[in-house]
Amino acid sequence: MNPGTLFDRYRELQLYVGWVPSDADRLTAAAPLLEPYIDRLVDDFYAEVEHHSGTRKVITGGHAQINRLKLTLGKWLRELFSGAYDAKYVERRWRVGSRHVEIGLDQVFTNVALSRIRGGLVRGIQESWQGSEEERNETIRALNKLLDLDLAIIEDAYQAEYSARLQRTERLATIGQCAGGIAHELRNPLNVVKTSVYYLLNARSPTEEKKAEHLRRIERNVELADGVITSLSNFARMPVPELRPIRIEVLLREVLELNPVGEAIELELDCPDGLPPALGDSDQLRIVLGNLVRNAREAMPEGGRLAISARAPGEYVELSVADTGTGIAHDDLIRIMEPLYSTKARGLGLGLAIARSIVEKNHGMIEVASEPGRGSVFKVRILAAPTGTEEDEVP
């Protein structure tokens, strides 16, 4: 956390615990009373540390380290009564938490240790107090507030450090997963290309037919590899969409031309006349619909029906892509649009994640319903373009 934000947070917490300037005065006034207790408290603290395996294991430097830590703790204790609870003070308190995470000290030990310190200091005040009982209780209250604030900052530091670590681990895991997926997806087509090239270079007297077959295979697999790279770059740097009115029927026909469904699939296209144009980025929406059509085709390897329809219920245009394919299991359905989540033997698991990311950037929404064995329906909603903008229509 940057120092300015940290100090703001500290001041907010001060208000929360009801800290008032006179609390600082009371604690500075109590400093001479507590001085005789500090060294004893420090010794007691480290005697306890040496008793428990959870705390002992972080002391890797033996007595020399304990002696240094005793000095550090003594300084930390005296600072409690210095009266200067400024940004530097708060930064040093934060550092206790982050240093403890670095050395692998479980947070519970810090909490329990602080409770021990609190008990020792309160006892010190009670034993050595000379003034009125009311003043003494006010001083103890001020001390408790200060220790609560210290603990809150130490806890914040622990949490910030833990979540930064978690993010790093997750990022590394994602990179690993992604690299594994890409390697797998590229290795297959490259192996096919390699085998065909080997054949073309070494076959003694290949027929023209065989040569053509291998060349087609190379072409198909280069396209596959190219597809993997295209989806990765689509995912990595999808530009800000250029929202313009789009004629849905034209867009759908283009998508189907680029992604033919094949003869085994019966295609039904229902796009009524008078449908208002949608407001979106046509290049990006072409990617979305292309992914949905390809998924539908892959879900019906034995053939089936693909029904694509468009409606305009209210202020948006809704596209529905329904297939009669294998469907999606319930558990997969919840995660199907997450990046790198794939139910297919092949595929990076980016197609639907890209589709969702694009639709959301185009201010729309995408949802899916599915029944295993019966098929899936994907619905994409995009805002309808305001009337009177038809002249700018694309494509």
Contact positions vs ligand HEM (CB under 6 A) = 49, 55, 58-59, 65, 68-69, 72-73, 76, 95-96, 99-100, 103, 105, 109-110, 113-114, 117
* Min separation Cβ 5 and ligand HEM, Å: 19
* Min separation Cβ 14 and ligand HEM, Å: 19
* Min separation Cβ 85 and ligand HEM, Å: 15
Quick one: how far is CA 33 from the chain centroid?
51
Within 82-206, where are the H helices?
Answer: 87-103, 107-128, 133-202
Structure tokens at 312: 């305009």
* 250 Cβ neighbours under 8 A, 6+ residues apart: 395
Selection from 149, 104, 112 nearest residue 6 by Cα: 149
Strand segments (E) across 127-233:
none
Helix axes 133-202, 87-103, angle to 10 degrees: 50
Q: Which is nearer to ligand HEM, 35 or 48 (CB)?
A: 48
Q: Which is nearer to ligand HEM, 82 or 233 (CB)?
A: 82
* Min separation Cβ 34 and ligand HEM, Å: 15
Structure tokens at 359: 């639709």
Q: Which residue is associated with the tokens 């770059």?
A: 233
Q: Which is nearer to ligand HEM, 100 or 381 (CB)?
A: 100
* Min separation Cβ 76 and ligand HEM, Å: 4
Distance (Å) of CA 386 to CA 248, 252, 314, 389: 15, 21, 12, 6
Q: Which is nearer to ligand HEM, 77 or 246 (CB)?
A: 77
* Min separation Cβ 111 and ligand HEM, Å: 8
Type of residue at 263: E
CA 126, CA 341: separation in Å to the nearest integer?
A: 62
Q: Which is nearer to ligand HEM, 52 or 220 (CB)?
A: 52
- How do strand 304-311 and strand 265-270 relate by DSSP bridges? parallel
Quick one: how far is CA 217 from the chain centroid?
40
Residues 276/385, Cβ–Cβ less than 8 Å: yes
Q: Which is nearer to ligand HEM, 73 or 359 (CB)?
A: 73
* Min separation Cβ 28 and ligand HEM, Å: 19
* Min separation Cβ 81 and ligand HEM, Å: 14
* Min separation Cβ 174 and ligand HEM, Å: 32
* Min separation Cβ 290 and ligand HEM, Å: 56
Q: Which is nearer to ligand HEM, 69 or 232 (CB)?
A: 69
Q: Which is nearer to ligand HEM, 109 or 341 (CB)?
A: 109
Selection from 370, 367, 363 nearest residue 384 by Cα: 363
HSE-up of residue 332 (Cα within 13 Å, Cβ side): 15
Q: Which is nearer to ligand HEM, 49 or 350 (CB)?
A: 49
CA 51, CA 49: separation in Å to the nearest integer?
A: 5
* 350 Cβ neighbours under 8 A, 6+ residues apart: 231, 232, 234, 235, 339, 340
Q: Quick count: other Cβ atoms within 10 Å of Cβ 255?
A: 21
Q: Which is nearer to ligand HEM, 158 or 235 (CB)?
A: 158
